[in-house]
Amino acid sequence: MLEQRWVGRYTNASLLKEDDWIFTNRFRYMLKIQLPLNGRSIGNKTPYAVIYDEMFIGFGKNIAENVFDQNRLGVLIGYRFFPAIRVEGGWLSQVLQLGREINYRNVFQYNNGIIINYIFNFDFSKVSSKKTFGNQ
């Protein structure tokens, strides 16, 4: 995934909100593995396990210290209700590299928490132009 963002920053430590905005670019890559917990495939009414690692890499002229922006590692349990609806929940570990140095050293932030994902996948390509949603 490629992201372009306007990131707020403080030009003075005494400010209560951001007063400057810089444009940044970021590349995101996720490796995700889903394994069924019963059976050989993930079908309707199937629980499954999920392991993923997502890395964020910043690039462009406005990137300072944090070319490596962040990494997210997740271990979750999911349930597929229907092809279009899934729920996943579990543990998330996040490492952030901040865009500044303190005492000539990079600054990292380490976060752990619980994550819940609601996934809705709707396939509108199967809807014919002659049909309406009410007449299917």
| Tokens standing for residue 9 | 């920053």
The residues with which 103 forms a beta bridge, in sequence order, are none
d(CA 57, CA 84): 31
The DSSP-derived string for 88-125 is: EEEEEEEEEEEEEEETTEEEEEEEEEEEEEEEE---GG
Residue at token pair 């462009």: 60
Query: Does position 58 have pLDDT exceeding 90, yes or no?
Result: no
pLDDT digits (tens, 9 = 90+) for 3-17: 888 877 778 778 888
d(CA 50, CA 72): 13
pTM for this prediction: 0.70
pLDDT digits (tens, 9 = 90+) for 65-112: 667 788 999 999 999 999 899 999 999 999 988 766 677 777 888 999
